[in-house]
Amino acid sequence: MIPEVDSYWLINAHVPVVLLENNNFIPQTREGLCLVDLEIVGGKIQQIILASQRVALNFPRIDLEKRIVFPGFVDIHTHLDKGHIWERSPNLEGTFEEALIRVQEDSQQYWQAEDVYQRMEFGIKCSYAHGTMAIRTHIDSLGKQGEISLEVFKTLQQEWADRLTLQAVSLVSLDYYQTPYGIALADRIAEIGGILGGVAYMNPALDAQLAQVFLLAQERGLNLDFHADENGDPDSICLQKIAQTALEYQFSGSIICGHCCSLAVQPEEVVAKTLDLVKSANIGIVSLPMCNLYLQDRRSSQTPYWRGVTKVHELKQQGIAVAFASDNCRDPFYGFGDHDIKEVLTQAVRIAHLDTPYSDWCGSVTKTAADLMGLPQRGRIGVGLKADLIIFQARYFSELLSRPQADRIVLHQGQSIDTTLPKYQDLDECILFKSA
C-alpha cells in the first residue's frame, strides 16, 4: 500500500489531536479525531495540513479514507527476560506466589545466555511487528544471572538500535542494594546507561532500603523505576513511602512506579495522602492491566470481583502521568500476551472504563509513556519527527477497539516494515528450550 519512494502524501488520515505535536488543530469528531494529510519526505514528516485545506499536492498520494493513524507505540514496562517460558514452567495455580517459585526454578535451570537471548529477541520481534518503537524492560539482576542477562540485553540493544529504542531496568528486591553486590549492580547499570530499579515490599527496613536506593541513584545520576504494591493489601503503602523518600532527598531524576494495585483498595484518606505525595514528587505511574487482572484477587474456586488495576482515573485527575504497558508475556506471571500494545490499550479501555469519552488515553501507550522514558521524539506525530507510524483499518475508536487490527500497516521512517510475527516454533531452535 505504501510506495517505496522517498516522498509521498498520506491523505485523509484520522489522527487523535492529542497525538499531534505543536499544532493548533481542533478535533472534528466527538472522539477527538482530526482529518489530516501527512507529507512524508526522507523518512520524516515534512508537513501536516487539514484535509479540508488541501490544494494541489506534489508527490504520490495514498488515500487512507479516514483510517486511524497512531505514532509508533511505546511499551514502558516489560519483562523480556522472563517471556515465553510458560510451556516449560507453567503457573498452574495462577497465583503471584507460585509465579515467583516457577520463575526462580526456570532461571536456575535454563537461563544461560543463549536461552535468554532467544526469548528476548522473540519478544522484541513481536513488539516491532505490532508497531512498537521503544521498549523498557526490567531485567532480573541478582548475582551471576544479572551479569548474563544484562550482557544479552546490551547485545540486543546494539543490534536493534536502528529500529527501536531499548532501555533496561535492574530488578532485585531493595535489600540487595544494601550489600556490596547491590552497589556493584548500581555501577553496572550506570555503565550501560540503564535505570536503577527494584521491588518494594512492606517490611521494617523499607525506609532504610529506599534511602540507600535513592542515594545510589543520586550519586550515579540514574533514574528510578520501582515495582510497588503489586497486591490487594490495604496496608501496603510502598508508593507513599517512595514518594516521601523522593521528597526528602529532593530527587531530581525521573521516578516511575509500576502496578500500585493496593491503592485501589485503600481508604479514601490514605489514597488522598498518597496522591498528594506522588504529585509533589513528580512520580509517573504505570498500570499493567492484563497481568494484574490475571493475578490479583485470585483464589481457588472463587470468582474474582476486583479487576486488579490501580486508581488510574483519580491519578490522572490529579495531574499525575499515567501509562499502560504489556508487563509479562507467556510466563508464570501472565500466561498470555503477544507484546501488542494495541491489545493493552483495548483491554485497559475495557477494564478501567476509559471510554466515553476516550479523552487523551491513547497517549498512555504513546506520548505519555515516551515522556516518562525521556524520549521526546517518540510517541507523537509532528513536523520534523520520524515517520514511525501505525495505520489501522479502523476509522473510529469503536472500530479500533473491537478488532485485533492484525492487518495494520507499520511504517519505520516512512517505509512499510514486514509485520509477519515470528513463529512459536522459532523458540524450539534454542537448545535449552528443547531440553525442557
Cell 520501582: give the residue.
226
Distance CA 184, CA 146 (A): 11
What amino acid occupies position 407?
A: D
DSSP 155-222: HHHHHTTTT-EEEEEEE-BGGGGGSHHHHHHHHHHHHTT-BEEEEE---TTHHHHHHHHHHHHHHHT-
The catalytically annotated residue of 31, 230, 314, 429 is 230
Beta strand 61-63 pairing with 322-324: unpaired
* 104 within 8 A of 47, measured Cβ to Cβ: no
Distance CA 49, CA 350 (A): 33
334: closest CA among 297, 301, 293?
293
Cell 489501522: give the residue.
392
Q: At what angle do helices 341-352 and 113-130 cross, to 10 degrees?
A: 70
Distance CA 418, CA 396 (A): 25
Instruction: Please say if 343 is a catalytic residue.
Output: no
Beta strand 33-41 pairing with 7-16: antiparallel
Strand order in the sheet with 196-200: 196-200, 224-228, 255-259, 283-287, 322-324
**H or E element, residue 16:** strand 7-16
Strand order in the sheet with 33-41: 44-50, 33-41, 7-16, 61-63
Beta strand 7-16 pairing with 61-63: parallel
Tell me how crowded residue 149 is: count the other CB atoms within 10 A of its CB.
27
Distance CA 361, CA 375 (A): 18
Active site residues: 230
